[in-house]
Amino acid sequence: MTGRRESPRVLLSAYQCGPGMGSVSQIGWEWYSRLARRVPVTLVTHVRNREALGRAGAPLPGSEVVYVDTEWFAGPLYRTAKKIFPRSEHAVFLVSSLDFFVYDRDAVKLLKRRGGTPWDVVHCPTPVTTAAPTRLARLGLPVVLGPLNSGLGLPEGFRSVMRADAGWLYPVRHFARVVDLLVGSTRGAARILVATKSTLAAIPARHRSRCESMLENAVELSRFTAAPWPDPPGNGRPLRVLFVGRLVPFKAVNYLLEAVARVAGEVQVELRVVGDGPMAAEWKGLAESLGLSSSVTFTGARSLDEVSAEMRACHVFVLPSVRESGGGVLLEAMASARPVAGVAFGGPAEIVDESVGRSLSAEGPEPLVAALAQLMRDVAADPEGWRRRGEEGRRRAESRFSWDAKVDEAVRLYERILGRKADS
């Protein structure tokens, strides 16, 4: 190679990749679909994604897709994890993720058998965790890892919540550090994109000079569009509060319900809970026992377009999750010009401030319920100020958090890496 290529040829390894298959799979799809518009791309991904990718038109023009089949291992592993952890989707995910090591091994073998390396750079955007080291540096090409979002500890004030979500299993991820030492994933990476301060701290100090900051999530601005605020609460109009997410223990919707009950008689609240999961029945029962049946609606799961409409209909979006590594749904609410509130721990701590909403206490259940209750009082008391927070959220989403901006930044990164390599 004698100089920098105008269009870097990218080998994109996205273990999870497919529209409508969950948040991490959506991240993989966004990287593939948007990179394919800009540069030549070969996507290597798990065979379980074939159907969803095919429905979406893959392989997209100017690209190819290579499928790696490890269902002989992944299928039984997933079914076993579901039996052991019926209430914890995150625990099922952690156990099922062991399949990645088999996938990655087979992907390297398959790509080597193809003969030659007709790419300039390798990019691995999913899984979004340091617990999934890759062997792809063995292809002899510069590797970009991430954006990664992991290394998040356990919130001290919410140990009981994390026990309900099989939090005791989280330290098992440290096994991946041993694998990383063996396969040289971090050691062999040209760049490591990190989403949070926790992720950066999880990278060994000797490798941090090759780290760059980039949130793992982004937002589709054409789907989540700005809309005028609803008529402000008061004079018989309720404060419309929205939650969107999986109904699993660490999402902590129970604290939001308790806060709505606490302000009853002060603020008329209409809460919509969008999503489904193993805690649905329990939290519906809690809402009924708190006397909230007429003010809380559980909608079940909704499509992205339906979620977008829900965002535009609310006054404020609240994510009471006590251990949220990402927080992409906050970006969607901000893109909809809605003020947001999230617990000051993990991903939301990187996204939410007083300019766009409110960062909520992470000290424990009672401080969090009190903060949620005060949030609703404040929005009802100063609707104009909170409307302006929503407008600032939209401006921030446009300038920093759109998918197109993120992928453009990545292409510039590839060119810098290849330019430095050529110069050397």
- Classify residue 291 as exposed, middle or buried by CB count within 10 Å of its CB (0-12, 13-18, 19+): exposed
> What's the pTM?
0.82
The pLDDT confidence band at residue 91, using thresholds 50, 70 and 90, is: confident
Q: What domains does the chain contain, in order, with CATH numbers?
A: 10-218+402-423 (3.40.50.2000), 239-400 (3.40.50.2000)
Beta bridge partners of 64: 42
For residues 59-79, average pLDDT:
93
Region 46-50 average pLDDT: 97
> Token match 């970009």: residue?
144
Q: Give me 1's structure tokens.
A: 């190679």
Give me the chain's average pLDDT, please: 90
Task: Tell me what pLDDT residue 4 has.
Answer: 39
Whether residue 90 is predicted with pLDDT greater than 80 in this model: the reply is no
Average pLDDT on 182-193 reads: 89
CB atoms within 10 A of CB 83: 9
Q: What is the pLDDT of residue 172?
A: 54
Q: Is the pLDDT reported for residue 167 higher than 70? A: no
> What CA–CA distances, in Å, run from 187 to 110, 113, 128, 138?
23, 24, 17, 12
Choice between 162 and 76, residue whose per-residue pLDDT is larger: 76
Measured from the Cβ of residue 180, the count of other Cβ atoms closer than 10 Å reads 20
Q: Determine the pLDDT at residue 165.
A: 53
Q: Report the alpha-carbon distance of residue 334 to residue 32 in Å, rounded.
A: 24
Question: How far is Cα 178 from Cα 175, in angstroms, rounded to an integer?
Answer: 6
Say whether pLDDT at 314 is over 60: yes
Q: Which residues of 145-167 are buried (b: 16+ CB within 10 A; e: fewer)?
A: bbbbbbbbebbebbeebbeebbb
10 Å Cβ neighbour count for 210?
Answer: 16
Hey, which residues does 67 pair with through a beta bridge? Answer: 45
Closest to 312 (Cα-Cα) out of 337, 331, 339: 337
Rounded Cα distance between 244 and 253, Å, is 10
What's the pLDDT at 421? 46
Highest mean pLDDT: which range of 17-31, 38-52, 221-235? 38-52
pLDDT in the model for residue 74: 87
C-alpha atoms less than 13 angstroms from C-alpha of 187 in its C-beta half-sphere:
10
How far separated are the first and last CA of the chain, in Å rounded?
Answer: 11
User: What secondary structure, in 3-state letters, does 199-239 show?
Assistant: HHHHCCHHHHHHEEECCCCCECCCCCCCCCCCCCCECCECE
pLDDT of residue 224: 96
CB 266 within 8 A of CB 377: yes
Where is 358: in which H helix or E strand? strand 357-360
What is 62-110 written as a DSSP string?
TEEEEEE--HHHHHHHHHHHHHH-TT-HHHHHHHHTTHHHHHHHHHHHH
Supply the pLDDT for residue 222.
92
161-165, 193-197, 199-203, 249-253: least confidently modelled range:
161-165
CB 123 within 8 A of CB 192: no
The pLDDT of residue 223 is 92
What is the DSSP code string of 107-175? HHHHHHHT-S---SEEEEEES-STTS---GGGGSS-EEEEEE-------GGGHHHHHHTTGGGGGGGGH
CA 101 to chain centre: 21
pLDDT of the residue at 423: 40
Q: Give the pLDDT confidence of 203-241 residue by residue, as tens digits.
A: 999 999 999 999 889 999 999 999 999 999 988 899 999
Of residues 219, 247, 409, the one with CA closest to residue 328 = 219
Give 267's DSSP letter: S
pLDDT digits (tens, 9 = 90+) for 247-288: 998 999 999 999 999 999 999 999 999 999 999 999 999 999
Which among 375, 280, 418, 424 is positioned nearest to 4, based on CA atoms? 418
343-361 pLDDT tens trace? 998 889 989 999 999 999 9
